[in-house]
Amino acid sequence: QIWCPNNTRGWMEYYTIAGLDIQNSEAKLTTETFLLDSASTIYVSPTNLYLTSQGWSSETTITKIGITEGAITFKANGTVPGYVLNQFSMDEYNGYFRVATTDQNWRTGSSGNNVYVLNENLETVGKLEKLAPGEEIYSARFMGERCYLVTFKKVDPLFAIDLSDPENPTVLGKLKIPGYSDYLHPYDENTLIGIGKETVEAAEGDFAWYQGVKVSLFDVTDVANPRELAKIEIGSRGTDSPALYDHHAFLFSRARNLLVIPILEASIDENDFSGEVPANFYGEYTYQGAYVFSISREGIELRGTITHIDDENMDLLKSGYWFDSEYSVERSLYIEENLYTISQGMIKINNLETLTELAAINLGE
C-alpha cells in the first residue's frame, strides 16, 4: 500500500518511514511508503512528522504523518503561501501546527513574511501576513505561545509574536539593530541567543555589507520592547561559522555559562589603509577552531580558542590558498569537566575550565 495525496505537483518521490519499539527486543519493524512531492524540510514532534515541499508558485505543501508508538499513518495535507526556511520555522503546540514563511514574488522581486496557524487537519485558522515587506526570514524560533522572527535586508528586525490565541496571531514588539541572526536559541524563557553576522549599511543602494560573525543576547522580558543585552563580533568580513547554517555545530550550557561554536576567522590589518576600511573589503583567513565563550545575562566574553590545525597548515590558511582541511573543527561537546572538539581528522580533549589540552587523538593515523 502506497499513500499519495491528491494535490501533488508532479515532481514526486517515494518516502518510506519505519517505526520500531526499541524497548521491546521482539518488536517488528513497521513501515509505510508515501508518494509525495519532493520534500525540502522535515519537522518532527513527539507524535507527528511533517514534510514540506515548495513549488514554482511561492507556496508550500505540508504533509502530516502520525508516528505514535511506532504506528505510521497519513493524517493530513495542506498548503500555505511562501517558502519555509528550515525546521525551526515550524512547530507543533497544543494540537496546532505553526509555520513561518517568506512569500517571494519572483517576477517583481518583492517579498513579505508570514506566520500561519493550522489545525489538526492542516487547515489555516489564524494568520499574520506581510511582515517586513521587502525583507526575508533569516531565522525563526517558536517558544510556547510566542514566535520570534529575524528578517533582514539592511537592518535586523527581531519580531516577537503572540500566538496565545491561535486564530489571531499578533506582533507584540520588535527591535531593529545592525546585523542579523541566522540561528536563534533560547537562553531562558525571556532571553534569546542569536548567531549571525554584523553588518554595515551601504553608502549607496538599499542593502548592507555583512561583516564578522556576531553572537548576541536578546532580552524579551518586556516583550513590547525587546533589547539587545550584549554582543560580541569575531573577525572581519569573510569570517564564517558552520553554526550559522547547522545547529549541530552549536554547543550551549546555561548551567555552565558555556557557548562553543567553530569559526573560520578572517581579519583585516587596518594599518594597510590610510583611511577607513571599506565595508565591502574581505579580510584574510587567520585562524580556524572552536571559540569558547562565557555567556550569561551579564554579558558575553571570549574565553579562548582551540584548533586542530598544525603550524604548517595554519600558515597555508594564512597564505590565502586555504582548503577545506580535515582538521577544521566542526563539533564540540562536554563530558563532566572535559571539553571535546571534533574535526574529520582529530578529537581533542581540553579541560573545560582552563582549556588546557589533555589529549588528542589523530583519526588519520
Longest dimension (CA), the chain: 74
Q: What is the pLDDT of residues 139-152, one digit of tens each?
A: 999 999 999 999 98
Which of residues 12 and 343 earns the better pLDDT score?
343
Going by their DSSP bridges, the two strands 2-3 and 30-37 should be labelled as parallel
Over range 328-349, report the average pLDDT: 98
Contact 346, 365 (CB under 8 A): no
At 97, the pLDDT band (50, 70, 90 cuts) reads very high
Percent of the residues in the chain that have a pLDDT greater than 90, as a whole number: 73
Residue-averaged pLDDT of the chain: 92
If you count them, how many residues does the chain have?
365
Q: What is the pLDDT of residues 126-136, one digit of tens each?
A: 999 999 998 99
Which of residues 6 and 185 earns the better pLDDT score?
185
Of 29-43, 257-271, 311-325, the range with the lowest mean pLDDT is 311-325
Instruction: Give the pLDDT score at 10.
Output: 62
Q: What is the pLDDT of residues 208-253, one digit of tens each?
A: 899 999 999 999 999 999 999 999 999 999 999 999 999 999 999 9
Q: Which residues of 56-79 are buried (b: 16+ CB within 10 A; e: fewer)?
A: eebbbbbbbbebeeeebeebbbbb
Over range 174-180, report the average pLDDT: 90
Q: How far apart are CA 20 and CA 196, in angstroms?
A: 38
Cα-only R_g, the chain: 23
Of 21-25, 120-124, 167-171, the range with the lowest mean pLDDT is 21-25
Mapped onto helix, strand or coil, the DSSP state of residue 100 is strand
Q: How far apart are CA 9 and CA 24, in angstroms?
A: 40
Q: How far apart are CA 113 and CA 38, in angstroms?
A: 23
Q: What is the pLDDT of residues 153-165, one digit of tens each?
A: 766 689 999 999 9
Mapped onto helix, strand or coil, the DSSP state of residue 143 is strand
Half-sphere exposure of 180 (CA within 13 A, CB side): 23
Q: What is the pTM for the complete model shown?
A: 0.91
At 322, the pLDDT band (50, 70, 90 cuts) reads low
Over 80: is that where the pLDDT of 77 sits? yes
At 353, the pLDDT band (50, 70, 90 cuts) reads very high
Instruction: Give the pLDDT score at 303.
Output: 98
Cell of 175: 527591535
At 301, the pLDDT band (50, 70, 90 cuts) reads very high
Q: How far apart are CA 210 and CA 15, in angstroms?
A: 39
Over range 166-188, report the average pLDDT: 95
Instruction: Give the pLDDT score at 313.
Output: 83
Instruction: Give the pLDDT score at 106.
Output: 63
Q: What is the pLDDT of residues 8-67, one digit of tens each?
A: 666 788 899 999 888 888 888 999 999 888 888 999 999 999 999 987 778 999 999 999
